[in-house]
Structure 1
Amino acid sequence: MNPSPDLSINTELARRILTGFIRSEITRMGFSRAVINLSGGIDSALSCFLAAEALGPENVLAIRLPYRTSSPESLEHARMVIEATGVHSLTVEITPMVDPLIERFPDMDALRKGNIMARARMIVLYDQSAAFHGLAVGTGNKTEILLGYTTLYGDSACAINPIGDLYKTQVRQLARAVGVPAVIIEKPPSADLWVGQTDEGELGYTYAEVDRLLYLMVDERYTPEECIEAGFDPAFVRAVVERVRRNQFKRVLPPIAKLSHRTIGYDFLYLRDWGT
């Protein structure tokens, strides 16, 4: 068994598929525009580049949403993406939205504060979706989705997600191919929710490590025991399996208690493009 699977992708093919996906999904719903929250990180940068290519930069609005503790570097990197793609842009300071709630609960920890910031950004995204007449484009990658490393009804909220089937390792590959600035690709991934916060510091392992394990478990259907036999640390495997299992609720719509013969999500099942 190979503990180091090849996660390389055909970037030209992926680019063609994902731009086609954005174009077809948005137009089939009667829209021609897109709105994206642009953090200055690699995921939102890639989504912005793909949307601009798919729809034309004049049909994409990128929103920068700094909080008072946000890194100035994040704003600058988002500006680089805006300039490189030529999309419309808007900057909305979320501090006046967020601080009154945080101040209401003096004992609030960093996780709660971060969730409030993420959900405040979602509110602005959907407000501007209505104002710009464009659909909200997601920026979450496959690694984050599987691990539940996302805020429900926050950064996970979107109408479509073009990069949700790319592991973080693959996001980096495609980002290079489409022209995302190298400084964005190479910096440590961070949600920038508090000073010094990094994704890998919070998770306790690197994306490169967990991507290899997730690829074997999800794409190659390895059992946890087979992953351990392939050379992965047993404690690491157990921790990742439990995290994926525990966060399943973030990947599905809320379950509805069944009372009738045709319950939404159980018997009343249609494709999302039903009727188009």
Structure 2
Amino acid sequence: MISMDEILRRILSFSRGLAEKEIEEFIREKIEEAGSRYGIVGISGGIDSSTTLALATRALGKDRVIAVIMPHEGITPEEDVEDALSLVRSLGVKHMLVRVSPACERIKYELKGQGLILDHKAYGNIIARVRMTTLYAIANSVGGLVIGTGDKSELLIGYFTKYGDGGVDILPLGDLYKTQVRALGKYLGLPSRIYEKPSSPRLWPGQTAEGELRMSYREIDTVLYALFELGMKPDEVKQIKGIEPSTVDRVMELMRRSEHKRRTPPIAVLSDRAKGLM
């Protein structure tokens, strides 16, 4: 039976140069199709957003990219802001630093006045959605397209906020698994402190993706690759050496529960003409 290490070798055997070329062509094509002047990228200092920004800059040129750093006081580590600032300066792109704390705190305060106390996940999703609103406010003002930073692993298991970081115009990394994005980021010359940094949406203090998911991305990518690229059935994936059956069940459950995030909202069909709308 195949092992996790063997599957990871297959995952990482992709051509970095070809991926770079095709993604850059994709970004240029979509920007031109939309008639947009700029690509707008929200950047956190993490691997996905940093890789996306590097690719967008190569695709469009530094004068047509705007990087937006959106820290939340008490949640976003200062080193993340420093990493993001260091990257935008090295790339030479325009950037904005917009602190989202005041807007998020105001929403929480207003809801508290209505008797609603938010837990950390509900508040975290507010942060993600305020960031999305910020990106689109900028895009609308300058004639830009919001370039999303989500990868294939996150999309398949639903590890993103609906209408938050999932609210974008294009997803250049959407067909690359997280482990592939790390490899591509390294290939593009990103600093090791970025491509080795543990992934985190930074929606509450101390949050890490793997801690919240209770699985490593090596495990997640192995399961997803086996299911989608190798065409294995869940029971077959459970036989992979190095993968616990409970991990497969967990991935399958995340995929099932997040299906609504990958679909457009359903409508009540009242006429024949409406059937073609969605």
| TM-score bracket, shorter-length normalisation | over 0.9
Q: Greater CA deviation, 14-23 or 191-200?
A: 191-200
Structure 1 match to 2:89 = 83
The one-letter amino acid paired with 1:250 is K
2:231 aligned with 1:225, yes or no? Answer: no
Structure 2 match to 1:101 = 107
- Give the alignment partner of residue 152 of structure 1, picking from 155, 158, 162: 162
1:121-170 Cα offsets, whole Å, 9 max, x none, are: 01100000012211000000111111111000001111111001110000
Structure 1 match to 2:195 = 185
Contact 1:3 1:227 in 2 (8 A): no
Paired with 2:35 and 2:117, the residues of 1 have a C-alpha distance of 46
Contact 2:69 2:84 in 1 (8 A): yes
Structure 2 length normalisation: TM-score? 0.92
- Give the alignment partner of residue 123 of structure 2, picking from 95, 113, 128: 113
Shift of 1:268: 5.0
Paired with 1:179 and 1:33, the residues of 2 have a C-alpha distance of 23
Structure 2 match to 1:92 = 98
Structure 2 match to 1:247 = 258
1:186-208 Cα offsets, whole Å, 9 max, x none, are: 11111112221111000001001
Structure 2 match to 1:273 = none
Pairwise CA RMSD of aligned residues?
A: 1.4
2:270 aligned with 1:236, yes or no? Answer: no
Shift of 1:260: 2.0
1:60-106 Cα offsets, whole Å, 9 max, x none, are: 00011111112101100101210121110001111110102223337
Structure 2 match to 1:64 = 69
Structure 1 length normalisation: TM-score? 0.93
1:30-49 correspondence runs (5 A): 30-49=35-54
Paired with 2:53 and 2:136, the residues of 1 have a C-alpha distance of 16
Contact 2:37 2:142 in 1 (8 A): no
- Give the alignment partner of residue 73 of structure 1, picking from 74, 79, 88: 79
Q: Percent identity?
A: 39
Paired with 1:185 and 1:33, the residues of 2 have a C-alpha distance of 26
The one-letter amino acid paired with 2:3 is P
1:249-268 correspondence runs (5 A): 249-263=260-274, 267=276
Shift of 1:3: 3.0
SS class of match (1:222): coil
1:20-49 Cα offsets, whole Å, 9 max, x none, are: 000001101112310011111110001100
Paired with 1:90 and 1:191, the residues of 2 have a C-alpha distance of 19
Structure 2 match to 1:23 = 28
1:170-225 Cα offsets, whole Å, 9 max, x none, are: 00011011122111111111111222111100000100111011100112121111
Structure 2 match to 1:7 = 11
Paired with 2:137 and 2:250, the residues of 1 have a C-alpha distance of 38
Which contiguous aligned blocks of 4+ residues in structure 1 show a shift greater than 4 angstroms?
none
Paired with 1:26 and 1:245, the residues of 2 have a C-alpha distance of 33
Paired with 2:229 and 2:211, the residues of 1 have a C-alpha distance of 26
Contact 2:24 2:59 in 1 (8 A): yes
SS class of match (1:179): coil
Q: Structure 1: which 5+ residue stretches go unaligned?
A: 270-276
Paired with 1:85 and 1:22, the residues of 2 have a C-alpha distance of 17
Structure 2 match to 1:213 = 223
